[in-house]
Structure formats: C-alpha cells, structure tokens
Chain A
Amino acid sequence: MNAPASALNTDDAIKFRCENVNVWYGPTHAIKNNDIAIHDNSVTAFIGPSGCGKSTFLRCLNRMNDTIDICRVTGTLLLDGQDIYSKDIDPVQLRARVGMVFQKPNPFPKSIYDNVGYGPRIHGLARNKVELDEIVEDSLRAAGLWDEVKDRLAAPGTGLSGGQQQRLCIARAIATRPEVLLMDEPCSALDPIATETVEELISTLGERFCVVIVTHSMQQANRISQRTAFFHLGDLVEYDTTDAIFSTPKDERTIGYVSGRFG
C-alpha cells in the first residue's frame, strides 16, 4: 500500500513536534536545523549513514544529551505541545515519560525481577508487593520474555542471553509506563532469531505507544515502521511514510541510500 504523503499529518495524533532543532558537540554541528513531527501509536524509524546524527537526535527527545557536558541543544521540541527544554521541565520526570532502550543490552547487575521493578520502584508506581508483581509480570509478558524467565525471576539479569537481555531492557523500559519508547539500534547486538522476536515486539508496542527506532537495517525499517526519516550529515533529508521512502524517495541522497549505493 502506497500511502500518500499527506497521510503524515492525518493518521495519528502528533506526539513530538520538533522545529529548528540544532545540536552541537563543542564545535561539531551534529544536527542542523531539523523539523519533524513524530506520531503517536506508531513506529517511526530513523535511518541514515553512520555518524549522521540519528542517535544524537533520538537522545534529544528524552534529554539524555544533558548528561554529556559539551552537548548543546537549541530549537523547539514539543511533547504533547509542551516544550521539553523549558525551565519548568524536570529531565528526570521527562525520562520517566520517554523511555529509552540502548544499542547494547545493559541490564543492571540485579535480579530479573529487580531489573524490571527498578523504574516502578523509584517512581512509586506500585503501592505494594502485589501491584509490583503485577507490573513486573505484565512488562515481561509485553516484552515476550515472561515464559522464559517466570521460574527464575530471582536469577541475575546479566545471566540471560543477549537477546533475552535486550528484551529484559525493553521490559524494564515499559515497566515505567512511558508514553514514548526510544530505541537506539536495539537489534544490532542480536542474532536473527532474537531480532525477529524483538521486531515483533516493537510492532506490537507500536500499536500502544509512540515508538522511535534507530536502525541500520533498511529491511527492518521497512518491516516494522509506519514512517521513516532519513538523516544525512546532520540534515533530516526526507521524512515520509515508510512505503513512500522505500518505493518513491524524492531526494537524490535518499534514493542513493535506500537503493544501497552508499551508506
């Protein structure tokens, strides 16, 4: 199905509206004046050659860039109409709303249960043990890991396989009930079978959340996302429905990239 470009603005509610976003690392201009509107209840993929600023842009969306001293962000980034870089936004609270899954699985050296319960505990999402049990079980089920670990919730999360660890990190992220889930190359450390599981999971999550995923695999972007943004050297070159980006790209650079001529 070849959705028309106008579908971009009509499908779902807009979750993030970003205008004139610029990011500098010291003197390096990593993101150059980008505008993008990211929709709710769908999966948006960021693609582009290495070093083009995908991770940088993703990290602007939950202010993870604040942890890097030399990083400077300007422009407007609105989450549900509210400027997330304004003075009265606490980045800590923002990150509870905008969860993040990293490229390399990074479970805490704690039990599986405590890994998933970490966010709910610090945000006081459960009033008692029963509620926490429920959140942990729901999150693990949503991440498709429950059946594999339900008998060893007390075992250390670091003892799981790579794919299981990544799904544990996803469960950990969704346990805080975020509105947005940011994923930076979540499958790059995984084998094809684990990748398939995680992709299915992302597709399902996309029905309930706003999911933004950075990926180097165009097949993956094609399989799981509704919209795709192509970055090149800090520019957001083209942003459209995934079908449009892959079947009728407009910009020369996008055409070159999706047809595999450079990258």
Chain B
Amino acid sequence: MLNWAALIIFALMLASYIMARQRAVALGGDTPAILHSRPTYHGAYVAICTALAGFGVLLIGLILSNIAIGTALVSSVPDALSPIERDLVISDGIAIANDTLASRTDELRETIAALYTKLTTLQIWGITIASIAAAVFAMLRGIGSVAVPFRARNRFEHIVGLILMVSAGIAILTTIGIVASLLGQTIVFFSDIPVWKFLFGTHWSPLSGVHEGTMDPDKVGAIPLFAGTLMITIIAMIVAVPIGLFAAIYLSDFASARARSIIKPMLEILAGIPTVVYGFFAAITVAPFLRDTGAAIGLSVSSESALAAGVVMGIMIIPFISSLSDDVINAVPQSLRDGSYGLGATKAETIRNVILPAALPGIMSAVLLGVSRAIGETMIVVMAAGQGANLTHNPLEAVTTVTVQIVALITGDTEASTAAGPAFSLGFTLFCITLIFNVWALALVRKYREVYD
C-alpha cells in the first residue's frame, strides 16, 4: 500500500515538473526572456515541492503513527504485568496479527492482535491518503504560482542548498554520535577503574574476575597492548616507508610513460586487496616461513610473531604510501626540476636536493596516514599476531594489539555489556591516537599546499 503511495507521489512529481514547465513556456510565449526564471526551473521547483510534501508527510506520518500504535498497545495491556511479560505479550499479539509463530495464544493476545490489525490498517490508509493529498496540494499550489516574475530559480536553488546541508549534517551527526557513545561508555568504565591503571598498568586480562561480578583494576593495564601495537606499527613502517617512497620516486621520475601506465594501476590493485586476505597470507604463508627460517639459523621464532604481522601489514601499506607520495612528488613543479637540471645537477642530485625536500611535508603526511592505518588495522593482527597480552621487546615473539583485544572482548563468550567497558575504552584510545595522526597529517598537507599556490 505504502509503496503504491510512494509510486503515486513520484508520478505526481514528474507530472508537476512537466505541467509547471509547460505553463511557464506558455506564459513566456514569443518572448521567453521576460520570465524571471527559465521554464525548467519552474518545473524543478514545483516538482521538488511536490516530492518534499508527499514524502515528508509519508515519513513523518510513519514515525509518529508507529509511536502512537506502540503507546496504544502498551496501554491496552493490564498494568499488573511486569514490563518483560508485557513486551512478550505485545510481540506475540503482533505475531498473531501477522500470521507468524507466537509463543502462546490466549484471549489477551487475541485482543491485542485485533487492535493491532485495526490500528495498522488505519495507519496505512491514513498515511497513504494524507501523503498523496499533500503532494497534490503542493503540486496545485506550485503550478498556480508559476508567473512571469516568480523567482523559481532562487527558490529551487535555496531548497537544493538545504538538501545538501542536511546530507552533510547527517554525516557530521553520525560521527558526533559515535564519538559521544564511545566517550560515554569510556567515562562509565573509568568511574570504576582509575584511568592511570588502564593507561600505565602492565597486566591485561580484564575478564578474569568478571564471573564474580567485579573487574580487578590491576588487570586492566593496557600497556602490553599499546606496546604490541607500537611494535607492529614500527615494523610495518620500516617495510612500507622505504619501499613505498622508492616506488613513488621511480614512478614519478624514472619510469617511462608506458611503465608508469602499467605499474601505477597495479599498485592500486594491491591497495584494493581485502585486509582479510593479507591476514591469512600472514598467518598461513609468512609466519611459518619466518618460523622455519628462524629455526634453520637457530633463532626461535614463535608461529604467531610480531614480525610476520608487521611485515605483511607493511606490504599492505606500501601502495598507500607510494600512491600518496607519488602525487606529492608529481605536484613539485616541473620548473623546479628544470632549474636544477639547468644548473648541471644529475637526476639523483635533483631528487635528493630539490624534489624530496620540496615534497617532504606531503611525504610525511603520507607516512602519518600510513601509521594511523597500521594502528587501526585489525584483520592481519587478529590472524597473525596472537592473543596473549605479552609485554616484550622481541619482535620474534607473539604480541597482541589494541584492535585484537577489542575483537576478542566483543566476540568472546562474556556478556557484551560487561565486555563493552574495556572494549569501548580501548576503542576510544585508538580513536584519539589515530585522530592525532590524521590531524597532524592534514596540517602538514595544508602547509605544503600554501607553498605552491
């Protein structure tokens, strides 16, 4: 029913566009220039008004009537029942009304089902009629308003501006919402556990005491996780920065146009490989290889090592760094290269003395963005880095990271609400760290832009 309403509103929108446009054309007659707005703007304005009125009533009607139905159902249940029983009765009633499986059928449930059927029928008819009426009303009014001096263009652009603003607003509000909920949960968690025990404690097994209903503040020290994340990030950057940077220099200053047209897309494909693939590559290929090689030369490498995870993560980040660096190196004006070659500098001297210094802020920001990816990366470390919170400086041992522990907490057996505290706190910490890196990177890029604009 409601989808028919939507379809009719859509048709009305098209019709109103055509009619308003036609009317404007007719008004313009032989001298269309006397119209303040082009006929298409008249059409677009009326069409957008029709659509907004129709779909607006539809949407708001649905939201409000659902709330109203909910309240009506609740008030039809005797007060004697507990909230949990009440919810069960209501959901059974709805199930009966929809002909699906209810846990039990009795008189009360049947009444509720009947009430529900009655109300929803009313709701659907009401909304259908109201929304179509609103659309028709907006359409007639809009077509009536078509006139020579009518500023349809200005109004249409105003409405479009508002729609764009609302879209941007949704993105921002979502972000704020997520950060606020992270922050809220984190504050709740820290009301039980002192912040410094979390930030500086060295023992991590937050769920070891929860079946007794308490969380031991001495067992939520996140230092081993931070240390593990740091170690893997450093290993990843040791792999990714030189290779990525050299690849970028090769691409921008040495590769022929042909080589470049092949290699650049290949690097971008590398960037498109899902991290879960890198993850099992690390766990199944790289880690055993490192373990066997280590054994061959007398080193004991654990089968889940920071090294394996870090190296594979570095490979994952290479295209990221090379692609961004390639962009900034290419943005160094050709005139600077010419200036250097014109002084008798070689290619290597030009790259070292002119291009890299000029591109350095941009390269730095690529590296920082790479770091923030490495810190937040999850799949590779889940598969290849290990679970145990092991505080070590040996990259050949297993370590765990912040992201791994969040996964373990949320997907583990423990009741989600209990595990949420430490998980949210870790998430919030992670968010803060990556935010700092991203802001820093952006600031560098902005500074870099100013030099050449």
Cα–Cα, bound, A3→B234 (Å):
73
B342 touching A69 by the CB < 8 A rule? no
A173 in the interface (beta carbon within 8 A):
yes
A95 touching B339 by the CB < 8 A rule? no
B340 in the interface (beta carbon within 8 A):
yes
A108 touching B451 by the CB < 8 A rule? no
> What residues of chain B lie closer than 8 Å to A64, measured between beta carbons?
338, 341-342
B346 touching A99 by the CB < 8 A rule? no
* A67 in complex: contacting residue of B341, B343, B451, CB < 8 Å: B341
Quick one: which of B324-377 are within 8 Å of A by CB?
A: 333, 335-346, 349, 353-354, 357-358
A95 touching B341 by the CB < 8 A rule? yes
Count of chain A residues with a beta carbon within 8 Å of a chain B beta carbon: 29
* A118 in complex: contacting residue of B338, B353, B358, CB < 8 Å: B353
- Closest beta carbon of chain B to A66's beta carbon, Å: 9
B1 in the interface (beta carbon within 8 A):
no
Quick one: which of A133-154 are within 8 Å of B by CB?
A: none
* A102 in complex: contacting residue of B338, B345, B357, CB < 8 Å: B338
A172 in the interface (beta carbon within 8 A):
yes
* A93 in complex: contacting residue of B335, B337, B344, CB < 8 Å: B344
Q: Mark B404-440, 1 if CB is under 8 A from A, else 0.
A: 0000000000000000000000000000000000000
B358 touching A109 by the CB < 8 A rule? yes
Given contacts A108-B354, A110-B357, A176-B344, contact A122 B339 (CB under 8 A): no
Cα–Cα, bound, A125→B371 (Å):
42
B338 touching A108 by the CB < 8 A rule? no
Most buried by B among A64, A93, A95, A104: A95
Tally of A-B Cβ pairs under 8 angstroms: 73
Cα–Cα, bound, A135→B38 (Å):
68
Count of chain B residues with a beta carbon within 8 Å of a chain A beta carbon: 21
A106 touching B344 by the CB < 8 A rule? no
B257 in the interface (beta carbon within 8 A):
yes
Name the CB-closest residue of B to A67. Answer: B341
Most buried by A among B335, B344, B451: B344
Given contacts A96-B344, A100-B342, contact A122 B353 (CB under 8 A): yes
> What residues of chain A lie closer than 8 Å to B358, measured between beta carbons?
108-109
B357 touching A118 by the CB < 8 A rule? no
Given contacts A67-B338, A102-B338, A118-B353, contact A109 B451 (CB under 8 A): yes
A5 in the interface (beta carbon within 8 A):
no
> What residues of chain B lie closer than 8 Å to A33, measured between beta carbons?
none
> What residues of chain A lie closer than 8 Å to B346, measured between beta carbons?
92, 122
> What residues of chain B lie closer than 8 Å to A222, measured between beta carbons?
none
Name the CB-closest residue of A to B360. Answer: A109
A41 in the interface (beta carbon within 8 A):
no
B interface, CB within 8 angstroms of A:
256-257, 333, 335-346, 349, 353-354, 357-358, 451
